[in-house]
Amino acid sequence: METLTLLTGGFLLKIEFTHSEVPQISNSFKRQVKNHFRSFKVDSSQHRKIDFIIHVHDASHTVYSQRKNLEEGREFISLFLERKKGRIITNYHLSLSQFIHLVSFVVIQLLQDHKGFMLHGSASNIFGKAHVYTGISGAGKSTAVLLLERKFPRLEDDRVIIKEEKDEYMFYHTPMVVKTGTLRRNYKGYPLAAVYFLSKTPYFKMNTLSKKDEILRLLLSQVVADADTYKKSIENLHRFVSKFNGFYSLSFRKDARGMVSLFSRVSS
């Protein structure tokens, strides 16, 4: 059986590709998956045990699980056929975007049991540490990292993983599709330096935030979770807010030179 081992969010995921009676479909699926996740690929023999297995079945004799919402005119197709502890069975008829969503679902499931969560946000690598930017839609998450990119590499532009490891909070790349341009993603973790709540203004201004209740309120709407993982993700978020102290409000304008100058000063 052909396999692919990924390291994402600090977790080892093993994808098992079974033999297919429709090789045109399975080979196309495998090529797309391997290409998208190539920067997360690792040699499983060099790492600890597998955290989760995604088993990809031949779908030629599979009856799809569907449910319809007739009032809204919607039809839903399940992303997986069977789910057990540490294992999901899916099929080759998923699109690449659906499979990426499935991997993201698995990572969020793992994060809830390992003091982590996924957040709507972007991030920059500033002197070897991750600086994360979040805020409501239109606050400037993608704009901020693009302004800083002339000096500080862009790590993410849509979603970020934050996870506690050995009494330190770490940033990890997500396997999601990039919103703008290209990113040099990898499985490496970066120490988390700061989290900024953004707003676009005609000026630059950065303030330290210390009121934990207010910080928690701002972050609650940015957590990425479903009905099954929301409660535990929020518990992990509470823990994060209580232990981490690098929270700031950041007002900024669309001025790359000014943005780089600001972060060069405050981060040196």
Domains of the chain: 2-112 (no CATH), 116-267 (3.40.50)
Q: SS3 for 38?
A: helix
CA distance 265 to 68: 55
Give the predicted TM-score (pTM) of the model.
0.90
- Annotate 95-129 with b (16+ C-beta within 10 A) or e (fewer): eeeebbbbbbbbbbbbbbeebbbbbbbbbbbbeeb
Q: What is the mean pLDDT of the chain?
A: 90
- Per-residue pLDDT tens over the stretch 215-248: 999 999 999 998 889 999 999 999 999 999 999 9
CA distance 46 to 134: 35
Which pLDDT score is estimated for 6? 95
Neighbours of 67 (CB within 10 A): 9
Q: Is the dihedral of CA 117, 122, 125, 126 positive or negative?
A: negative
Confidence band (pLDDT; 50, 70, 90) for 69?
A: low
Which pLDDT score is estimated for 97? 92
Task: Please say if the pLDDT value at position 179 is more than 80.
Answer: no
Q: SS3 for 33?
A: helix
- pLDDT top residue among 120 and 60: 120
Which pLDDT score is estimated for 35? 93
CA distance 34 to 40: 10
Q: Are 149 and 184 in contact (CB under 8 A)?
A: no
CA distance 125 to 157: 12
Share of the chain above pLDDT 90, in %: 75
Q: Are 110 and 170 in contact (CB under 8 A)?
A: no
- Per-residue pLDDT tens over the stretch 138-167: 999 999 999 999 999 999 999 999 999 999
Task: Please say if the pLDDT value at position 70 is more than 60.
Answer: no
Confidence band (pLDDT; 50, 70, 90) for 123?
A: very high
Which pLDDT score is estimated for 33? 96
What distances in angstroms separate CA 144 from CA 122, 128, 161, 175, 226, one per listed residue?
8, 18, 18, 21, 27
Which pLDDT score is estimated for 63? 45
The token duo for 69 is 């919402």
Task: Name residue 264's beta-bridge partners.
Answer: none
Which pLDDT score is estimated for 136? 92
Q: SS3 for 264?
A: helix
- Please provide residue 70's backbone torsions phi and psi, each rounded to the nearest 5 degrees: -70, -30
- Please provide residue 237's backbone torsions phi and psi, each rounded to the nearest 5 degrees: -65, -45
- Per-residue pLDDT tens over the stretch 29-65: 999 999 999 999 998 777 778 999 999 988 654 444 4
